[in-house]
Structure 1
Amino acid sequence: MNSEATNSEAMNSEHNQPTNVTPAAPLAIGIDIGGTKVAGALVDAEGNVTTRVRRDTPHRSTEPRVVEDLIVEVVEEVAATADREIAAVGIGAAGFVAADRATVVFAPHLSWRHEPLRDALSRRIDVPVFVDNDANAACWAEWRFGSVQGESHVVMVNLGTGIGGAILIDGRIERGRFGIAGEFGHMQVMPGGHRCECGNRGCWEQYASGNALVREARSLLAAGSPLAHDLAATVGGDPHKLTGPMITEAARAGDPTAEELLAEIGTWLGTGLANLADAFDPGAFVIGGGVSAAGSMLLDPARDSFRRHLAGRGYRPEATIVQASLGNEAGFIGAADLARTAARTQGEV
């Protein structure tokens, strides 16, 4: 070997000495399964998302295996983009998830009934899989990385197709004895009221959810109400084409009927939050889900209603009511982080 090459290697070795660099934390995949979509993402330990994949949710009558196939497809597509180890896969499902974080007991918007989802997926995915309620996942994400960091007692309410909820106390998701805590959407607030997909009548989500918003707007259109003239023009007079985001956009543009519809949803929201404050006494309510995109048009009426209905109002501390900051990504961010945390706790990463 010539001296020039030897000197060059010596110089290079000085710049390549081993350093005490901590290896990057493993990644995790989060899957968020809702009434209308299956969304997946690759998430790092700081809650940053590097890959996103979305598919439409199959019809609720579809066999569970079809939904399982779709989840595996999304996981594989996301995993193909990873540049290092994947620690776990977390599934956030819109439904009742048993305390074992393995079984979907009941999903109103899908055909799952006592579905052993974790075991079915584990046979096809070669890293640990954990299943949780989607609202639990979103609440965890907002507490870890979002709008309620540092708050010890949090109640989350997700307004989407229905209403999901979650409770976090001192850094721990409260799942209840059977895993079904936080299903606030199915509290009955109007005995004999609108029929709910859960089988009961008068559930809170029939008055304060995205479905409720659209139902009330469509009823105005179907009745030919002049108050809904502008909304009707948006959809060419066809009530079935009207969606929640259209109503929110109309309200932002100054449509008084759209504003009134959102305020009505907000009033019902605040009434329910007052009941939850009596039950859980949180420091903060965080409002997420698609309907929360309406911001102050929804939350200001909710805050007013909350104060009017709060027991002991004027003589007790009041929880803050804040908008979730992670938007539609909270579900898969939280599912991924919960799964990574669980896998680490079990010594699998």
Structure 2
Amino acid sequence: MTDARQADDLTIGVDIGGTKVAGGVVTPDGRVLARIRTETPDRSKSPAVVEDTITEVVRDLRREYGVRAVGVGAAGFVDEQRANVLFAPHLSWRREPLRDALSARLDLPVVVENDANASAWAEVRAGAGQGVGNVVVVNLGTGIGGAVVLDGRLHRGRYGLAGEFGHMTVVPGGHRCECGNRGCWEQYASGNAVTREARELVRAESPVARVLHQAVGGDTRLITGPLVSELASKGDRACVELLDEVGTWLGTGLANLAAAFDPELFIIGGGVSEAGELLLGPARSAFERNLTGRGYRPTARVVAARLGNEAGLIGAAALAREALAE
């Protein structure tokens, strides 16, 4: 093994989303030395299947590197002990004792954290939020994840559930959400919202969706958020309007979060944020238009995340390392 592979300060971060499991060996300064990504098993399968996938990813990474601990960023509600996944809208976990199960199988200390908290911590430590003490992070993916850093500390709330912004009700009686409620913010400002609206346009055979219809040959199952972003970047009017609408919903929600937390900075991450200014431009406009006390208060900056898809695993690894010192 090289010196790097023998280092005793390495940890593994694992990021679990609605569609993937990604793991990496991470140094204290946030460098990823090795990485593995695999698809999340079908959500209808038992939680044990996802646990098996996590275990395999960690074991594969440990074949080349000695590590001290494992941090897992899970897309769901994680309790204050950072041990149990209470509820995961996009997976089948319900009060799942993930920390103890993984620790027993891996024979390593394990910390379980909400995936958005993990991503936020990475951005504050090594990304767009460096040097900023009060930050709200919003991750736009399959749904919406969120996290709050107050006075330089990750704010988890009394029960570990702070930052679940995606499940704020913004349209009473609106679209059904996988969490069981209707009208959640993530139904209007997420990757799912982009694809749902694009598919509805094509199904309706709207003339404004001609380019989108041609791109998928009329098969709405082939419509994805990245496809909408690609066509929008090429100037397709319908796709530009779709991102504008989602960005407007995003900015409106940010104004509400500013009223609650008064951050200096909003960081927008997740796959949907890769649309760049096609999304962030409308979001800033809607944010400023809906901000309480606009014109008489400082306006928080709204910027894109810097660490991309690896933020979750980098943050989870950092949190695992820090937990060893507690």
Q: 1:170: how far off?
A: 2.1
- 1:215 maps to 2:196: yes
- Give the corresponding residue for 1:4: none
- Counterpart of 1:255 (choices 213, 233, 236) is 236
Q: 1:344: how far off?
A: 2.3
- Give the corresponding residue for 2:53: 70
Would the aligned equivalents of 1:289 and 1:327 in 2 still touch at CA under 8 Å? yes
Output the CA distance in 1 between the equivalents of 2:16 and 2:8.
Answer: 26
Output the CA distance in 1 between the equivalents of 2:44 and 2:221.
Answer: 21
Q: Classify the secondary structure of the residue corresponding to 2:42.
A: coil
The TM-score normalised by the length of structure 2 is 0.97
- 1:204 maps to 2:204: no
Output the CA distance in 1 between the equivalents of 2:237 and 2:39.
Answer: 33
Structure 1 portions without partners, runs of 5+: 1-22
Q: Classify the secondary structure of the residue corresponding to 2:195.
A: helix
- Counterpart of 1:143 (choices 124, 127, 145) is 124
Would the aligned equivalents of 1:25 and 1:45 in 2 still touch at CA under 8 Å? no
Output the CA distance in 1 between the equivalents of 2:281 and 2:7.
Answer: 42
Structure of greater Rg: 1
- Give the corresponding residue for 1:79: 62
Output the CA distance in 1 between the equivalents of 2:192 and 2:151.
Answer: 33
- Give the corresponding residue for 2:294: 313
- 1:52 maps to 2:35: yes
Output the CA distance in 1 between the equivalents of 2:272 and 2:100.
Answer: 33
- Counterpart of 1:94 (choices 72, 75, 94) is 75
Would the aligned equivalents of 2:140 and 2:268 in 1 still touch at CA under 8 Å? yes
Amino acid paired to 1:34: G
- 1:61 maps to 2:60: no
Would the aligned equivalents of 1:92 and 1:331 in 2 still touch at CA under 8 Å? yes
Q: Classify the secondary structure of the residue corresponding to 2:86.
A: strand
Q: 1:59: how far off?
A: 1.5
Output the CA distance in 1 between the equivalents of 2:122 and 2:98.
Answer: 22
Would the aligned equivalents of 2:46 and 2:92 in 1 still touch at CA under 8 Å? yes
Q: 1:25: how far off?
A: 5.6
How many residues align structurally?
A: 321
Output the CA distance in 1 between the equivalents of 2:324 and 2:77.
Answer: 22
Q: How does 1:260-299 map to 2 (within 5 A)?
A: 260-299=241-280
RMSD: 1.0
- Give the corresponding residue for 2:14: 31
Output the CA distance in 2 between the equivalents of 1:268 and 1:81.
Answer: 45
Output the CA distance in 2 between the equivalents of 1:142 and 1:110.
Answer: 25
Q: Classify the secondary structure of the residue corresponding to 1:269.
A: helix
Amino acid paired to 2:114: N
Q: 1:171: how far off?
A: 2.3
Render the CA deviation track for 1:126-159: whole Å, top value 9, x for unaligned.
Answer: 2210000000000000000001100010000000
Q: Classify the secondary structure of the residue corresponding to 1:198.
A: coil
- Give the corresponding residue for 2:3: none
Render the CA deviation track for 1:10-46: whole Å, top value 9, x for unaligned.
Answer: xxxxxxxxxxxxx956101000000000000110011
Runs of 4+ in 1 over 4 A off after TM superposition: none
The TM-score normalised by the length of structure 1 is 0.91
Output the CA distance in 2 between the equivalents of 1:334 and 1:263.
Answer: 30
- Counterpart of 1:41 (choices 15, 24, 42) is 24
Render the CA deviation track for 1:190-230: whole Å, top value 9, x for unaligned.
Answer: 01100001111000000000000000000000000111111
